[in-house]
């Protein structure tokens, strides 16, 4: 079936992004106003924090600039993501990036000048000017970073280089989403499909093994043909980040990545260690899959194939919304009503794939906009998991923005991934508990295991790969295509074990992962998954097999979780998760999630 152009899709299936700027001339005015305000902000240079009232005015103006510019950048990016080949919005995004550089440069003096002051004196301002109290955590966080903040001149220079330093990511995005054409694949019935990022996973779940192998080889052959180019692009992305850690006087690149959120590198390493400890359960699962599917030479192109199928996987978008709403009922009527209203009536979601549209899915918006969701919906029940995941992010934003001021109105990735994965966990447990027969239960137990494989195991493997690449460069190594291919291949063998046959293509998988251009991002999917499983269990139990004795979900746990959703960025992620009853400083949270995986693998073995 051909992929539609953007203008061929009905408006009701597109997000209501026009609501942000019904007149795009206003976007241009806001962009220019942000630049003007940042130019005006320069008048404070040399007088930052000279007294409590002055500091309040400066913080408020800085916040106002950021809040207005957030609307500008969100609108430009969302419009570009609708169709990455549309020159109008490519230009608009370029203007926004240029403006961001100017604004950052104009305001770069503020933090270095502020931290040159005596911290105790600045903190004493709260007693004199009560309206400053709202900024207390923000200011404490800034002073915590004092030794890593440079002079005003140096910070301004770095700000001016921001868009250049992001070049690797921008180049990869255009290459991956616009220029790469994976061609056409044909199934055993002769039906042809345009192979895209959006339908890759769906095609890899086909029971037509020849099609799966064709899709797999055709996709990775394209990346293989660009192996040297992509290795250079990624290498410079890593070098950029390693250089940043040195410029900001960090002991190592991992500390640089985690320090702003006050997360210990030990948490990152604990994740890898605990997952390594439970790799035997992954090997057992792969062995079960190999046995049940009857494939002696099980390859990576077989990994996505479920061990059984549903009678009917079709699921319209409206049906998915209804299913998600039922699964989310333990979170309360308010949560469910807001979710349904947003995705159905307020058009938060850009639902279907079109030519040039950014692949995958995300939730993104400004403090003043809807929490928009980009999807590439394929009308199958598995897409409901994407909807409920991104809906978790969006509902997190809704609750936060109602409770928190703009300065705390966003989320760290660490907490955001918890909010999305709690939703996924509630859905899979609902489907397991309400399976109509043994075959359907096997399907959903397998689905739950595969969610662990894709999120906790695979993202941890990605995290380990990132740590290897950045540490290697940090120690003076040069990333080459051969080195990257070899290390990735070794990790894949370690994580999937001896029951998967070797092939020449999986070693190129690293080169198609967009998240690698946001260094040390992916590990938070795995930590979030661990935290989410603990939270979901406290609310409803992880499935009927593990549910609370009385069969009721925990009202207090639910209330604590909603309080967590309202907390935004008002504290460090580890402290915020404690509101929901999870302590990520301990290995126990990850261990508890991995124990669920071990039990589910044993349950699957028993069921079949």
Instruction: Enumerate helices (H) and strands (E) in the chain, giving the number of each.
Output: 26, 5
The number of beta carbons lying within 10 Å of the beta carbon of residue 368 is: 14
**Which of the following is catalytic: 82, 155, 353, 390?**
390
Whether 560 and 241 have beta carbons less than 8 Å apart is answered as: no
C-alpha torsion sign, points 418, 423, 426, 428: negative
Phi, psi of 372 (to 5 degrees): -65, 150
- Cα–Cα distance measured from residue 26 to residue 544, given in angstroms and rounded to the nearest whole number: 53
b/e map 142-154, b = 16+ CB within 10 Å: bbeeeebbbebee
CB hemisphere CA count around 139 (13 angstroms) = 25
Cα–Cα distances (Å) from 485 to 279, 400, 481, 497, 500, in that order, read 22, 42, 6, 18, 18
For β-strands 362-364 and 192-194, DSSP reports them as: unpaired
- The gap from C-alpha 551 to its chain's centroid, in whole angstroms, comes to 33
Report H helices in 497-552: 523-539
Catalytic, 440? Answer no
- Rounded (10°) angle between helices 265-277 and 523-539: 70
Sign for the CA dihedral angle at 589, 523, 419, 319 comes to: negative
Neighbours of 248 (CB within 10 A): 16
DSSP single-letter state for residue 2: P
Q: How far is CA 459 from the centre of its chain?
A: 11
The catalytic site residues sit at: 390
């Amino acid at each position: 079936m051909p992929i539609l152009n953007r203008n061929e899709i009905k408006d009701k299936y597109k997000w209501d992004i026009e609501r942000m700027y019904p007149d795009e001339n206003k976007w241009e005015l806001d962009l220019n106003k942000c630049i003007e305000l940042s130019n005006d902000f320069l008048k404070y240079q040399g007088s930052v924090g000279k007294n409590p009232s002055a500091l309040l005015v400066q913080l408020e103006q800085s916040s106002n600039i950021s809040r207005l510019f957030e609307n500008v950048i969100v609108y430009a990016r969302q419009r570009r993501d609708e169709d990455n080949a549309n020159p109008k919005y490519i230009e608009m995004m370029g203007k926004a990036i240029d403006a961001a550089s100017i604004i950052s440069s104009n305001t770069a003096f503020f933090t270095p000048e502020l931290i040159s002051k005596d911290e105790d004196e600045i903190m004493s301002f709260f007693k004199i000017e009560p309206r400053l109290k709202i900024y207390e955590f923000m200011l404490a966080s800034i002073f915590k970073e004092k030794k890593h903040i440079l002079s005003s001149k140096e910070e301004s220079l770095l700000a001016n280089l921001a868009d250049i330093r992001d070049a690797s990511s921008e180049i990869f995005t255009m290459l991956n989403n616009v220029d790469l054409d994976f061609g056409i694949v044909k199934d055993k019935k002769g039906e042809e499909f345009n192979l895209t990022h959006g339908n890759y996973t769906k095609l890899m779940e086909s029971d037509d093994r020849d099609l799966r192998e064709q899709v797999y080889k055709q996709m990775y052959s394209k990346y293989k043909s660009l192996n040297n180019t992509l290795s250079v692009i990624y290498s410079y992305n890593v070098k950029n980040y390693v250089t940043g850690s040195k410029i900001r006087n960090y002991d190592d690149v991992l500390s640089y990545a985690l320090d702003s959120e006050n997360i210990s590198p030990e948490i990152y390493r604990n994740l890898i260690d605990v997952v390594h400890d439970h790799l035997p359960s992954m090997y057992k699962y792969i062995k079960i899959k190999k046995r049940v599917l009857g494939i002696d030479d099980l390859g990576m192109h077989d990994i996505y194939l479920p061990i059984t199928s549903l009678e009917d996987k079709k699921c319209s978008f409206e049906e998915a919304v209804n299913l998600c709403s039922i699964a989310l009922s333990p979170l309360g009527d308010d949560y469910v009503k807001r979710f349904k209203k947003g995705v159905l009536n307020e058009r938060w979601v850009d639902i279907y794939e079109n030519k040039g549209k950014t692949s995958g899915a995300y939730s993104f918006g400004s403090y003043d906009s809807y929490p928009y969701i980009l999807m590439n919906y394929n009308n199958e029940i598995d897409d409901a998991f994407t909807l409920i995941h991104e809906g978790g992010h969006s509902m997190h934003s809704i609750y936060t923005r109602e409770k928190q001021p703009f300065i705390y109105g966003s989320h760290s990735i660490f907490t955001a991934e918890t909010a999305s994965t709690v939703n996924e966990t509630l859905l899979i447990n609902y489907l397991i508990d309400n399976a109509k027969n043994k075959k359907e239960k096997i399907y959903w137990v397998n689905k739950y295991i595969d969610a662990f494989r894709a999120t906790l195991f695979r993202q941890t493997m990605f995290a380990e790969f990132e740590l290897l690449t950045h540490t290697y460069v940090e120690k003076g190594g040069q990333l080459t295509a051969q080195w990257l291919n070899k290390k990735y291949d070794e990790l894949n063998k370690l994580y999937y074990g001896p029951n998967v046959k070797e092939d020449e293509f999986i070693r190129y998988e690293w080169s198609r992962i967009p998240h690698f251009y946001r260094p040390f991002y992916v590990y938070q999917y795995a930590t979030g998954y661990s935290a989410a499983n603990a939270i979901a269990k406290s609310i409803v139990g992880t499935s009927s097999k593990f549910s609370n004795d009385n069969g009721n979900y925990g009202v207090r746990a639910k209330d604590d979780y909603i309080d967590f959703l309202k907390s935004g960025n008002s504290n460090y992620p580890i402290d915020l998760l404690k509101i929901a009853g999870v302590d990520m400083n301990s290995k126990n949270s990850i261990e508890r999630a991995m124990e669920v995986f071990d039990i589910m693998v044993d349950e699957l073995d028993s069921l079949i």
